[in-house]
Amino acid sequence: MRAIKTDEGENRRKTGAEVKVEVKNITCAYNGHVALKDVSMDVMRGEFVAVMGPNGSGKTTLLRAIAGMIKPVKGEVRVYGSISYMPQKDYVNPNIPMKVWDVVAMSILAKGKKFRWSVKLSEEEKRAVEEALRAVAMFEFRNAPFTDLSGGQQQRVLLARALATKPDILLLDEPFNGVDLPTQEKIINLLSELSSRGITVITVVHNVSPLIHHVSKIALLNKTLIAYGKPEEVLTAENTLRAYGVSIPVTVCEEGYLHPLFGDIHG
């Protein structure tokens, strides 16, 4: 989680459109090895975007580039607003016996460019921590040591940490890993509600099916952006074949949404 350059003035000058994230023709590389090539996409205010693709296809790299954690070797990313980033795996030092509450409170103390060393939260900030913990059904664990939690419970606390700062743009990297189905559903409903309130949500997922009724767009990656648009435009046999090397069967649910039947494909 970090503060990112904002340029609200320029954003306002754009006629009507409220672009929150502009990815302009970026190429990202690690030690000269290209991980992401020529990717361009705009994400608007209140959009709920799922990023999909096989392992190693550049999903995490794309989120890191948007969060400003890596600099593209070509192209640029512009972000208009505050960002919270929930990484795929986070490192919490097991030797520091941090309570669940403190893990979430830390995000508020670390908000902005300077870390606030005063550990006292205002009443409003405390409410934000409580709300975030309740949103992921972890409030009752607030006094438990973080390291004593199960993997799925830790994941939920890390999501609460990302929510607590009330960002304009929420970047989540596989937030449902290890999270049980009822909690996953609760979180999906929450993300959907946040996006309807104008928060831009960009989340990496392997299985988009549980989110399909809520997402506005899907970005399908395989080193390059294979498709970006509405789920029904993106999840074609041709696109999934290009991304995963196999075409993925889809089914249409009663409400008319397209559901890919690939559970948890890893390319």
Ligand X SMILES: Nc1ncnc2c1ncn2[C@@H]1O[C@H](COP(=O)(O)OP(=O)(O)OP(=O)(O)O)[C@@H](O)[C@H]1O
Number of residues near ligand X (by CB under 6 A): 11
Residues 145-184, one symbol each (x = binds ligand X by CB under 6 A, - = not), give: ----------------------------------------
Nearer to ligand X, 52 or 169 (CB): 52
Q: Which is nearer to Mg ion, 88 or 147 (CB)?
A: 88
State the minimum distance, in angstroms, from the CB of residue 129 to ligand X.
29
Q: Contacting ligand X (CB under 6 A), which of 1, 4, 45, 60?
A: 60
Residue 185 C-beta: closest distance to ligand X, Å? 23
Sequence letter at residue 180: D
Q: Return the closest-CA partner of residue 65 out of 56, 51, 77.
A: 77
Write down the residue that tokens 């320029």 correspond to: 10
- Which listed option, Mg ion, ligand X, none, makes contact with residue 35 (CB within 5 to 8 Å by class)? ligand X
CA 80 to chain centre: 16
In the numeric block, the tokens 């205010």 are attached to 45
Return the residue of 9, 15, 16, 55 that touches ligand X, per CB under 6 A: 55
DSSP 72: -
DSSP 69: S
By the rule CB under 6 A, 58 interacts with ligand X: yes
Instruction: Select the binding partner of residue 30 from ligand X, Mg ion, none (C-beta < 5 to 8 A, by kind).
Output: ligand X
143 binds, among Mg ion, ligand X, none (CB under 5 to 8 A by kind): none
With CB under 6 A as the contact rule, the residue among 4, 11, 26, 53 that binds ligand X is: 53
- Binding of ligand X at residue 217 (CB under 6 A)? no
Residues 6+ apart with CB under 8 A from 72: 26, 27, 28, 36, 65
Q: How far is the CB of 55 from ligand X (least distance, A)?
A: 4
Please pick, from the candidates 10, 30, 89, 97, the single residue that binds ligand X as defined by CB under 6 A: 30
Task: Using CB under 6 A, pick the residue from 7, 10, 12, 56 that binds ligand X.
Answer: 56
- Classify burial at 151, counting beta carbons within 10 Å of its beta carbon; exposed 0-12, middle 13-18, buried 19 or more: exposed
Residue 81 found at the interface with ligand X (CB under 6 A): no
Q: Which of 30, 129, 10, 123 is nearest to 73 (CA)?
A: 30
Widest distance between CA atoms in the chain: 54
Q: Closest distance between Mg ion and the C-beta of residue 61, in Å?
A: 8
Q: Which residue has the tokens 């361009």?
A: 40
Per CB under 6 A, the list member of 61, 82, 155, 203 interacting with ligand X is 61
- Measured torsion, CA atoms of residues 125, 127, 131, 137, in degrees rounded to the nearest 10: 110
Residue with tokens 């509600």: 193
